[in-house]
A and B are shown apart, each in its own frame.
Chain A
Amino acid sequence: DVVMTQTPPSLSVAIGQSVSISCKSSQSLVYSDGKTYLHWLLQSPGRSPKRLIYQVSNLGSGVPDRFSGTGSQKDFTLKISRVEAEDLGVYYCAQTTHFPWTFGGGTKLELK
């Protein structure tokens, strides 16, 4: 199985600060069609996950452009510019290139 390693496991931030979360996979996430199926999800407290970014860098519908994703092959980063209170929760990276699909362990974003 593809192991997804997220760091850091938690982040304490002030509103307006910018933060980055890293996600590294144990195998390349480039599929045979040339696309990279690496996505970022946010699970707000008590809520179901919501997809923020798909295929590394594409913003989901209605997702503010304070969120951005970069990376390739096995190394990916989610950046949040100017954190707002609604951004707090647990962030997960997810790969849907290889079966079984797998998730990172999560990064909990909390208020400082």
Chain B
Amino acid sequence: GQQLNQSPQSMFIQEGEDVSMNCTSSSIFNTWLWYKQDPGEGPVLLIALYKAGELTSNGRLTAQFGITRKDSFLNISASIPSDVGIYFCAGQLRDYGGSQGNLIFGKGTKLSVKP
């Protein structure tokens, strides 16, 4: 079946550092989504990308929809302690007819603070 490869699996950050993570797939998607999950909470949508090549920002977060439609990256600039959590990418196919477009989640990137 379709799979998303999300990397890195985990990373340690120091306050003020920039962070990058990405997702790749062998399949083409119509939409790329980036979520953040805090402990004990549900994933929260950070950025949604709907067009190949699209670059979208949300505060210190920037995400891009790869031109091949098979990948996406998320950058966090000048990280702060509250950026800690698990970040998930998700690729979604278009809803069509009476069926939902399949939504595939990556396994997540866990962001922690350097000790």
- The yes or no verdict on A and B being binding partners is no
Q: A residues within 8 Å of B by Cβ? A: none
